[in-house]
Amino acid sequence: MSPAASDHSRAGPLLEEIRRLAATLHREVRIMEVCGTHTVSIRRAGLRSLLPENVRLISGPGCPVCVTPAGYIDLALSLLDRPGLILATFGDMLKVPGACGQALASRLGSGRLRILYSPAELPSLARGTDAPVVFLGVGFEATAPTVAAAFLQAAREGIANLFLYAAFKTVPPALRALLSDPQIRLDAFLLPGHVSAVLGLEPYRFLEEAGGLPGAVTGFEPLDLLEGILALLRQLSAGRRRVENAYARVVRPEGNPRARQVLAELLEPEDALWRGLGIIAGSGLGLRERYRGFDAAARFGLPAMWNSEPAGCGCARVLLGRLAPEDCPLFGRACTPESPIGPCMVSSEGSCSAAFRFGEARA
């Protein structure tokens, strides 16, 4: 990201054009972002209050921690009941409560919970112990190749005590699910930046078919987001339905074939359970047959994960854009980032957390 891309003086003409086009549309335009980093950038920059009244930005299921079912946390916690087992995770999973109400953070004192900045740390972590090391594989197509690279390295080094508990999700099947839900009325998608850097544009082409919607791959700076929104309004104004790349300095049309190759060597599509969306066919990533030795669920006999929402928590509906964070009865009262009830308030990329921290007048 170029530092100059955050230059505010350049936003004026973009906003002018957005206002001009929005005025010609004479209706409410609902644009969903499906990337937690977009959600935070939009809120931090206060973009919602800069946009015309009839352009609404709606946060979708783009926060990886938020779309992870509560039952996954319970099963991860159950792994720590095994003597000696070390659980490795990204830090954003720590505070998410499981169906039991407990979060991984409650076991920080055990000395067997390792917070990783990068999966690249996994091979050396496993080499340094005889105990089993289980990594919580949570994330989308930008994260999955990094985890795959680490596990393939472990495979090359013959490391036998490293395991993957996979709960990866993939974006295009979730977009299809959103399109097919008659209760979710959307006009366009802002498509994720890093996920698209890996995928390229082809996996989104179904958006151009009948029943699809305009899409624009967008970066994370306020100017990038405005450019993406403008690209979508231009399409809507012209009655077009295309997948556009408004982040060409990072995203190539063909994506990153090497990253996809690494991912596909270790992982293959499988059905996955999402918080809010339920089971979506082919929307997860599981270990291929020849790497099943890494499978924590098989090795430790973990049952299928399940969904469970804390009482009164609107996270599952917030993830679908059916409920604005501010309209949840718990928001800002019983549920705050300091004392969160659901994952949308726990994760720094969650819609509720972003709405609370960077609150704006208009949701």
Q: How far apart are CA 107 and CA 250, in angstroms?
A: 39
- Of these, 77, 105, 115, 121, which contacts other proteins (CB under 8 A)? 121
- Of these, 159, 166, 197, 225, which contacts other proteins (CB under 8 A)? 197
CB of 99 to other proteins, least distance (A): 27
φ, ψ for residue 180 (rounded to 5)? -90, 0
| Contacts for 35 with CB less than 8 Å, ≥ 6 apart | 62, 190, 191, 192, 193, 194, 195
1 is a site residue for other proteins (CB under 8 A): yes
- Class of residue 179 by CB neighbours under 10 A (exposed 0-12, middle 13-18, buried 19+): middle
Query: Contact region for other proteins (CB under 8 A) — 11-19, 77-85, 281-289, 340-348?
Result: 11-19
120 is a site residue for other proteins (CB under 8 A): yes
- Class of residue 52 by CB neighbours under 10 A (exposed 0-12, middle 13-18, buried 19+): middle
Q: Would strands 86-90 and 278-287 be described as parallel, antiparallel, or unpaired?
A: unpaired
- Of these, 81, 117, 311, 361, which contacts other proteins (CB under 8 A)? 117
Angle at the Cα of 227 from the Cα atoms of 223 and 228, rounded to 5 degrees: 120
Question: What separation in angstroms does the CA of 313 have from each of 164, 189, 199, 333?
Answer: 29, 26, 33, 12
DSSP characters for 335-347? B-SSS-SSHHHHS
Query: Contact region for other proteins (CB under 8 A) — 68-76, 115-123, 163-171, 268-276?
Result: 115-123
143 is a site residue for other proteins (CB under 8 A): yes
Measured from the CB atom, the residue of 120 and 238 that comes closer to other proteins is: 120
CB of 250 to other proteins, least distance (A): 5
| Number of residues engaging other proteins in binding (CB under 8 A) | 41
249 is a site residue for other proteins (CB under 8 A): yes
- Of these, 73, 177, 251, 346, which contacts other proteins (CB under 8 A)? 251
Maximum Cα–Cα distance across the chain:
66
- Of these, 256, 307, 351, 353, which contacts other proteins (CB under 8 A)? 256
Q: How far apart are CA 284 and CA 273, in angstroms?
A: 8
Site string for other proteins, 146-175 (x = CB under 8 A): xx-x--------------------------
Tokens found for residue 27: 């209706």
Tokens found for residue 84: 């000696």
192 DSSP assignment: P
Query: Contact region for other proteins (CB under 8 A) — 52-60, 135-143, 329-337, 348-356?
Result: 135-143
- Of these, 95, 112, 194, 242, which contacts other proteins (CB under 8 A)? 194
- Of these, 13, 91, 211, 293, which contacts other proteins (CB under 8 A)? 13
User: 273 with 251: CB under 8 angstroms?
Assistant: no
Question: What separation in angstroms does the CA of 305 have from each of 134, 193, 272, 283, 343?
Answer: 16, 29, 9, 15, 16
CB of 345 to other proteins, least distance (A): 23
- Of these, 18, 217, 223, 272, which contacts other proteins (CB under 8 A)? 223
CB of 2 to other proteins, least distance (A): 5
- Of these, 36, 139, 192, 214, which contacts other proteins (CB under 8 A)? 139
**Residues interacting with other proteins, by CB under 8 A?**
1-2, 4-5, 7-17, 90, 117-121, 139, 142-143, 145-147, 149, 194, 197-198, 223, 248-252, 256, 258-259, 262
